[in-house]
C-alpha cells in the first residue's frame, strides 16, 4: 500500500493536474488557493498478489550430493490493484466567484484492476548438499490464460448552502467517457525462480534463507488505466468533442521479489 495526503493547512496551494483537450494545454483542478478555497487531497494505491501451485515431481538424477527432479502441474495466480484519488474543498471567497461562500465540493476517482492467471507449469527442482549447507533451487515457467478485469468509477458532490445536494456521475479522471467495467482474456507467461539455503546447526535445527522472483508478462495495472486527458465540456454539461478521458486497457510486465528467513526444527 502506498498513500499520499496533503491539505491546505500545510500547502496553501493544492491542485490536481490534467491535460485539457479542449484548450490543448496543461491544466489543473485547483483544490485550495489562498482567498479562494481550503481543501485536501488523498490518494491510495494498493497491490495484492497471491497464488498456489499443484504439481507432481519425478526424480531424473541423484548422487551422493545432488538431486534433480522434473515436475509439472497447475499454477494459479491473482494480482489485484487499486488506485483511489479523493479531494474535498470549501469555498472561502466571499464575493465574486461562481460558487457562494461555504460551498463544499467532494470529488473522487477510483480505478480497480484484477488479474487472474490459470495455466499449466513445468520446471526443475534441484538440491545440492555441501557440508552443513544444503542449497535448494526451483525454476519453472507457467503458460496459460490471464483474465483481466478493470472497474472505473467516479463521482462529484456539490453542497451549496441552502440548496439540495448536487450529485454527479464522474470525478476528474473518471468521467462518463471511461466509467464502467471492462474485461478481456489474453495468453500470458509466468516464469519463477526460487533459491533457498539451509544451514544445519545440528541434527534438529536448520536456519534457512531464501530469495524468490515471479514474473507475469501481461498484467492490467490500475495506474496504467488512467488517462490524464480530459474533455472539460462534460464537467458541467453534455460532452462536445473528443471522448476523453478514454479507457486504454493497457497491460504491462509485472514482477515480484521476495526474501525469506526461517528456522526448521526436526523432532
> Comparing C-alpha atoms, which of 74, 194, 79 is closest to residue 125?
194
pLDDT for res 94: 80
Give the pLDDT score at 203: 86
* Residue recorded with cell 490493484: 81
Please give, one letter per residue, the 3-state secondary structure of 47-63: EEEEEEEEEEEEEEEEC
Give the up-direction half-sphere exposure of residue 248: CA atoms within 13 A in the CB hemisphere.
15
Instruction: Report pLDDT digits (tens) over 159-168.
Output: 999 999 999 9
Q: What is the pLDDT of residue 73?
A: 97
Residue pair 33/43 in contact (Cβ under 8 Å)? The answer is no
Determine the pLDDT at residue 40. 97
Q: pTM to 2 decimals?
A: 0.89
The DSSP secondary structure of 192-234, one letter per residue, reads EEEEEEEEE-SSSEEEEEEEEEEEEEEE--GGGG---EE-GGG
- What's the pLDDT at 121? 97
Phi, psi (deg, nearest 5) at residue 232: -75, -10
The segments of the chain whose pLDDT lies below 70 read: none
The greatest distance separating any two alpha carbons of the chain, rounded to the nearest whole angstrom, comes to 88
Does the CA dihedral 197-200-204-206 come out positive or negative?
negative
Distance CA 146, CA 118 (A): 7
Amino acid at each position: 500500500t502506498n498513500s499520499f495526503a496533503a491539505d491546505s493547512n500545510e500547502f496553501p496551494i493544492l491542485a490536481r493536474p490534467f491535460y485539457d483537450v479542449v484548450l490543448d494545454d496543461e491544466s489543473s483542478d485547483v483544490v485550495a488557493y489562498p482567498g479562494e478555497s481550503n481543501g485536501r487531497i488523498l490518494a491510495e494505491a494498493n497491490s495484492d498478489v497471491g497464488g498456489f501451485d499443484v504439481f507432481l515431481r519425478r526424480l531424473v538424477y541423484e548422487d551422493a550430493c545432488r538431486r534433480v527432479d522434473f515436475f509439472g502441474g497447475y499454477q494459479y495466480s491473482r494480482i489485484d490493484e487499486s488506485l483511489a484519488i479523493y479531494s474535498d474543498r470549501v469555498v472561502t471567497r466571499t464575493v465574486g466567484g461562481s460558487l457562494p461562500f461555504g460551498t463544499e465540493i467532494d470529488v473522487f476517482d477510483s480505478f480497480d484492476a484484477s488479474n487472474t492467471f490459470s495455466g499449466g507449469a513445468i520446471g526443475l527442482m534441484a538440491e545440492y548438499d555441501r557440508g552443513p549447507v544444503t542449497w535448494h533451487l526451483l525454476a519453472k515457467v507457467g503458460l496459460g490464460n490471464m483474465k483481466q478485469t478493470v472497474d472505473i468509477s467516479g463521482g462529484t458532490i456539490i453542497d451549496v448552502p441552502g440548496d439540495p445536494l448536487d450529485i454527479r456521475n464522474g470525478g476528474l479522471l473518471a468521467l462518463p467517457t471511461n466509467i464502467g467495467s471492462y474485461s478481456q482474456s489474453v495468453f500470458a507467461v509466468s516464469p519463477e525462480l526460487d533459491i533457498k539455503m539451509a544451514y544445519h546447526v545440528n541434527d534438529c535445527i536448520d536456519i534457512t534463507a531464501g530469495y524468490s522472483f515471479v514474473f507475469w508478462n501481461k498484467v492490467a495495472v490500475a495506474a496504467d488505466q488512467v488517462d490524464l486527458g480530459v474533455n472539460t465540456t462534460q464537467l458541467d454539461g453534455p460532452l462536445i468533442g473528443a471522448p476523453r478521458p478514454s479507457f486504454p486497457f493497457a497491460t504491462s510486465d509485472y514482477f515480484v521479489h521476495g526474501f525469506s528467513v526461517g528456522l526448521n526444527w526436526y523432532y
